[in-house]
C-alpha cells in the first residue's frame, strides 16, 4: 500500500459501509491543501524539515517531532513548502472510536487541549509521537488483528491527550493574526482574478514589503506560492469534475495564459493537465 498522498487528492473521504474509519499517509510540503474541513479528527507529526498549518486562521509550525491536533469540523489548511518537508498524517472518526456515554468526557476534552505539542509536557509529546509510529506500522502492515491494534493505539493516544490541561486564551500578536486572516479571506475571494501582492496590500492598507514579510513569517510560504496553490487546487477540481477545455480551466483558475498554466501544472504534478484528467477519470 502506498504511504503517500496522490499529487493532489484529499486523504480523507467518509468511510463506506464496512470500511475501517481510520486512515494514515506520509505527505510532503509539495502536497499542500487549501482551507477545508471534515468530520474526522486529524493529527500531524512532523518528520523532517518544517511544515506550516493554519487551524481556524492561526498558523502553527510543525518541525521534526512536533505534533498538531486538528479537531473535527475545524477549518484548516497546509501551506506549501519543500519536498523535503515531510509529515505523518492520521485521520479517524471520533464517534467510531470514542462514541457512547463512557467516552463523553474524552470527546468533550479533546478539542479543548492545546493543539500544538509545543504547549505539551515532554512525556505527552513523546508518548503521542510513539503511538503515531505504532499506528503507522499497524495500518500499513495489515497483519492479523491490525484493526483492533490500531483502535487500541488510537484510544491510548486520545487518553494521553485528554490528560493535558485545557488551552488558555491565545496571546502573541493578535494584530498580526488578524492581518493574516484578512489576507487569507481576501485571497479566497479574489484568487481567480487579477490579484497580486501589490493589489492585495493596497486593498488591505499595507505596504507590499510588510505584507510579504508577515505572510512568510507566519506561514513559512511566500504570498506568490500560496496564491499559486489556490489556483492549482481550483484547476484540479475543474479537471476532475468538468469537461471544460484546458484553456477555459486556465482562465477560470486565475492563470494569465494557457501556456503559463501548462508550465506551472507540469512543474507541480510532473504531468500535463490532460494527463492528470485522464488519470483521475480512469
Pairing state between β 33-36 and 58-63:
unpaired
Question: What confidence score (pLDDT) does residue 169 get?
Answer: 54
Residues 82-121 pLDDT 10s: 888 999 999 998 888 988 888 888 888 988 999 999 999 9
Q: Which three cell numbers stand for residue 151?
A: 483502535
- Determine contact, residues 192/231, Cβ cutoff 8 Å: yes
140 band by pLDDT with thresholds 50, 70 and 90:
very high
Other Cβ atoms closer than 10 A to 208: 15
Other Cβ atoms closer than 10 A to 242: 12
DSSP characters over 84-112: T-EEEEEEE-HHHHH-SGGGHHHHHHGGG
Smallest Cα–Cα separation from 77: which of 97, 99, 95, 53? 53
Residues 197-226 pLDDT 10s: 999 999 999 999 999 998 888 887 889 988
Average pLDDT of the chain to the nearest whole number: 86
Residues 230-263 pLDDT 10s: 898 889 889 988 999 999 999 999 999 999 999 9
CA distance 227 to 101: 45
- Using the predicted structure, report yes or no on whether residue 12 has a pLDDT greater than 50: no
- Determine contact, residues 238/245, Cβ cutoff 8 Å: no
Q: Which fold has domain 22-162?
A: Jelly Rolls (2.60.120)
- Determine contact, residues 273/265, Cβ cutoff 8 Å: yes
Question: What confidence score (pLDDT) does residue 18 get?
Answer: 60
CA distance 45 to 24: 11
Q: How distant is the alpha carbon of residue 41 from its chain centre? A: 12
User: Would you kindly state where each structural domain of the chain is located, as residue ranges?
Assistant: 22-162, 174-281
Question: What confidence score (pLDDT) does residue 220 get?
Answer: 78
Residues 58-81 pLDDT 10s: 889 999 999 999 998 788 888 888
Smallest Cα–Cα separation from 9: which of 274, 270, 269, 275? 269
pTM to 2 decimal places: 0.69
CA distance 227 to 236: 14
Q: Which three cell numbers stand for residue 96?
A: 467510531
Residues 144-184 pLDDT 10s: 999 999 999 999 999 999 999 998 755 545 466 778 878 88
CATH architecture for segment(s) 174-281: Orthogonal Bundle (1.10)
| Helix, strand, or coil (residue 184) | helix
Smallest Cα–Cα separation from 46: which of 123, 111, 118? 118
CA distance 103 to 92: 15
Question: What confidence score (pLDDT) does residue 101 get?
Answer: 85
Amino acid at each position: 500500500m502506498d504511504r503517500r498522498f496522490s499529487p493532489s487528492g484529499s486523504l480523507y473521504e467518509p468511510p463506506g459501509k464496512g470500511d475501517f474509519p481510520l486512515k494514515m499517509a506520509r505527505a510532503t510540503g509539495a502536497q499542500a491543501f487549501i482551507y477545508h474541513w471534515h468530520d474526522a479528527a486529524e493529527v500531524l507529526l512532523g518528520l523532517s524539515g518544517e511544515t506550516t498549518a493554519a487551524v481556524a486562521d492561526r498558523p502553527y509550525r510543525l518541525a521534526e517531532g512536533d505534533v498538531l491536533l486538528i479537531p473535527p469540523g475545524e477549518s484548516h489548511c497546509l501551506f506549501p513548502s519543500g519536498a523535503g518537508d515531510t509529515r505523518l498524517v492520521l485521520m479517524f472518526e471520533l464517534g467510531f472510536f470514542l462514541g457512547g456515554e463512557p467516552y463523553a468526557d474524552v470527546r468533550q476534552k479533546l478539542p479543548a487541549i492545546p493543539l500544538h505539542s509545543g504547549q505539551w509536557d515532554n512525556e505527552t509529546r513523546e508518548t503521542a509521537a510513539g503511538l503515531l509510529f505504532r499506528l503507522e506500522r499497524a495500518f500499513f502492515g495489515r497483519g492479523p488483528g491490525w484493526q483492533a491494534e490500531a483502535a487500541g493505539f488510537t484510544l491510548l493516544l486520545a487518553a494521553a491527550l485528554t490528560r493535558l490541561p485545557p488551552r488558555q486564551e491565545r496571546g502573541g500578536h493578535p494584530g498580526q493574526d488578524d492581518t493574516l486572516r484578512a489576507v487569507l479571506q481576501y485571497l479566497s475571494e479574489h484568487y481567480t482574478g487579477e490579484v497580486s501582492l501589490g493589489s492585495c496590500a493596497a486593498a488591505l492598507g499595507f505596504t507590499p514589503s510588510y505584507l510579504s514579510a508577515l505572510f512568510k513569517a507566519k506561514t513559512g510560504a511566500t504570498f506568490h506560492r500560496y496564491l499559486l496553490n489556490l489556483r492549482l487546487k481550483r484547476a484540479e477540481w475543474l479537471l476532475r469534475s468538468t469537461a471544460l477545455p484546458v484553456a477555459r480551466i486556465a482562465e477560470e483558475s486565475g492563470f494569465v495564459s494557457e501556456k503559463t498554466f501548462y508550465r506551472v501544472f507540469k512543474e507541480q504534478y510532473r504531468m500535463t493537465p490532460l494527463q492528470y484528467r485522464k488519470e483521475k477519470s480512469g
